[in-house]
């Protein structure tokens, strides 16, 4: 998994927000098991709505620095539609769920020029996981956000 510089992560998530960031290979399938806890106890997610979306982004000025990958991220033109990611294995009382990464659903074609093994700037996606908690007693409804950032590269075989 790639290490991203703090400045790059701050562009996507701000200073104090949670983020899942990684470098994927074209057509790679993977997943993240997520668990929510507070004060050593699991957070009950019963009644919450969990969804995740990503959208294609443009990467420029990619550099491998001693502090990790550093780059600028901007809107992709023309702006594509967001892609909904799959959430499975929800266990609300234990505060757990799985985020599925199935890159084949992201509509990247093997002929995408940013997948070329010689491309300076890879395909990129940013987005978020949103956990919406309903109102409970005197506590109003609230959302918890985890930002997402993925670079997708060629494995050198496909393109």
User: What is the model's pLDDT at position 107?
Assistant: 67
pTM (two decimals): 0.85
| Residue 116 vs residue 45, higher pLDDT | 45
Q: pLDDT at residue 159 above 60? A: no
| Residue 142 vs residue 17, higher pLDDT | 142
For residue 34, give the H/E element and its range.
strand 29-35
Cα(29)–Cα(75) distance, integer angstroms = 25
CA 51-57-63 angle, 5° bins: 120
DSSP category for residue 48: -
DSSP category for residue 7: H
Domains along the chain? 6-153 (2.60.40)
CA 66-3-71 angle, 5° bins: 75
Cα(119)–Cα(68) distance, integer angstroms = 19
pLDDT per position as a tens digit, 103-135: 766 667 666 777 777 777 888 889 999 999 999
User: What is the model's pLDDT at position 1?
Assistant: 44
């Amino acid at each position: 998994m790639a290490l991203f510089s703090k400045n790059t992560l701050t562009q996507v998530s701000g200073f104090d927000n949670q983020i899942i960031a990684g470098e994927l290979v074209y057509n790679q399938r993977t997943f993240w098991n997520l668990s929510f806890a507070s004060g050593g106890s699991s957070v009950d997610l019963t009644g919450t709505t969990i969804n995740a979306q990503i959208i294609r982004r443009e990467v420029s000025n990619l550099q491998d620095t001693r502090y990790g990958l550093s780059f600028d991220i901007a809107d992709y033109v023309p702006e594509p539609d967001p892609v909904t990611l799959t959430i499975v294995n929800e266990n609300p009382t234990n505060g757990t769920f799985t985020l599925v990464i199935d890159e084949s659903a992201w509509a990247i074609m093997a002929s995408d020029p940013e997948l070329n093994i010689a491309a300076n700037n890879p395909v990129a996606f940013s987005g978020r996981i949103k956990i919406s908690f309903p109102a409970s007693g005197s506590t109003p409804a609230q959302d918890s956000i985890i930002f997402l950032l993925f670079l997708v590269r060629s494995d050198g075989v496909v393109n």
